[in-house]
Amino acid sequence: MLSQKARYALRAMVELARAEEQVTAGELALRADAPRKFLEAILLGLARHKLVTSRRGKFGGYLLARPAEQISFAEIIRLVDGPLALAPCVSRTAFRRCEDCSDLATCALREALLRARDATAAVLEGYSLADAVTGQGAELIG
């Protein structure tokens, strides 16, 4: 499951992609429907990893550090929540053997988890902030 922190990060980044100019933390918190102090901490991390740039002062605010087409949902999620994989033994970025696994080669779960990771990564790496801005929304399930 996506953490609330990742949801706020994604919503804030989409709002920055929509913006024509820099956006203050307060305005961004309103647009992303996120608590301001929590969002400021998220933005600090995003700035540290060069996804956003910030300007201080009276006329300060935040901007995307790269064009929206070049920032994928996968990049943001990995930065905030870590690997996309459901288990560490199928992670491409943080591989490690599962504690309760006696043999990777014969693990009955690993193939399905690897396929799920690959499918998830393919979708999220192929979906940019620009796609989110121009998207039509998703089907409603319920």
Instruction: List per-residue pLDDT tens for the chain, 142 residues long.
Output: 899 999 999 999 999 999 978 999 999 999 999 999 999 999 999 999 999 999 887 778 999 999 999 999 999 999 999 999 888 888 888 888 888 878 878 888 888 999 999 999 999 999 999 999 998 777 667 7
**Rounded distance, CA 17 to CA 14, Å?**
5
For the chain, give the number of residues. 142
* Cβ atoms 125, 74 nearer than 8 A: yes
* Cβ atoms 18, 133 nearer than 8 A: yes
Q: Would you call 13 helix, strand, or coil by DSSP?
A: helix
pTM (2 d.p.) = 0.88
**Rounded distance, CA 64 to CA 25, Å?**
13
